[in-house]
Amino acid sequence: MKSRIVLAIGGNSLIRSKERSSFAAQLETVRETCRHIAELVRAGSEVVVTHGNGPQVGLLLIRSHLSRTRLPEVPLDACNAMTQAEIGYMIQQSLDNELAGLGLARRAVTVVTRVVVSADDPAFGAPSKPVGPFYTKAEAAGLQKDLGWAMREDAGRGFRRLVPSPEPGEIVEVAEIECLLGQGSVVVACGGGGIPVLRRDGRFEGVAAVIDKDSVSSLLAARLQAQELIISTAVEQVYVGFGGPNQRALGDVKAREMREYLAAGEFPEGSMGPKVRAALVLLDAVGGRVIITDPEHITEARDGRAGTRITA
């Protein structure tokens, strides 16, 4: 049986700075990452690529807000779908070119993916995920009154909309992803955590929420029985004591040890916490291995020469 890998790319790793947020700049960054993905394919692995889309959704919401007096605003679930397709196209284009350069007759395929969440999820009663542009206090009050948005001041730069971040339940297109893998495709799926949908009376309904990308990647890896989950982020390794005098990089580490570090507060919610939790969920469910590293060190991390490798 071929090795099956789920590779999760962070949305922030596609936009490295405000000055490099254009489509052309993102495409250039994607090309670099796809060179490493192509090497995984050349080594004989079946690969599914997931990705974040937070910055891209933010830009789309800003465009929608600025043109709101002339055009209808774009709902959040549609923003997720649009950026899934946009980033998927960038990955498909770049990866197909890399695979062709290696003489591999393989194709990348993007699946615009929905993820079922529960209407009873406590997250819907406590929106916590900031999205979109910054508003003035007066604008925020108006939006809260007119549209019922939850608003909160963020980083002293103004008010932002808060949306729920529910737990993922079921990946609607998982059978189609499995089928494409079996046909030899490299599949891009579950972008941005997937489009959150509710199932009501046998029908799907989009909902304004954001699902954590790493949680969905872990769920997808479990459903596909992947032997490896690679979480690509901005740093080469996971650290304990990060930023302090006793900072220490983690190489090969057991899930038990990572769970102790997580409980001790070593991994903040805004950075490494969700990634480590997603790793532990997968390892508890199916075992295998989780690698956390940056795009440049994926190959070395798999060989034990870089990155953080977590096993059950």
Catalytic annotation present for 243: no
Catalytic annotation present for 53: no
Q: Which of 97, 129, 142, 169 is catalytic?
A: 129
Query: Residue 92, CB half-sphere, CA atoms under 13 Å: how many?
Result: 16
Q: Which of 53, 80, 192, 213 is catalytic?
A: 213
Q: Which of 10, 11, 88, 132 is catalytic?
A: 11
**Whole-Å CA distances, 162 to 81, 141, 157, 205:** 19, 13, 15, 20
Catalytic annotation present for 18: no
Q: With contact defined as beta carbons under 8 Å apart, do 261 and 267 qualify?
A: yes
Q: Which residues, 6 or more positions from 279, have their beta carbon under 8 angstroms from its beta carbon? A: 218, 229, 231, 255, 258, 290, 292, 310
Catalytic annotation present for 191: no
Q: Which of 58, 132, 194, 275 is catalytic?
A: 275
DSSP for 50-91, please give it.
EE--HHHHHHHHHHHHHTTTTSPPPPHHHHHHHHHHHHHHHH
Q: Which of 12, 101, 184, 254 is catalytic?
A: 12
Q: With contact defined as beta carbons under 8 Å apart, do 308 and 239 qualify?
A: no
Which token pair is 180? 């494409």
Q: Are strands 186-188 and 170-171 parallel, antiparallel or unpaired?
A: unpaired
Q: Which residues, 6 or more positions from 11, have their beta carbon under 8 angstroms from its beta carbon? A: 51, 52, 53, 54, 55, 56, 87, 192, 213
Tokens 């043109």 found at? 67
Tokens 């070395």 found at? 300
Catalytic annotation present for 12: yes
The catalytic residue positions are 11-12, 129, 213, 275
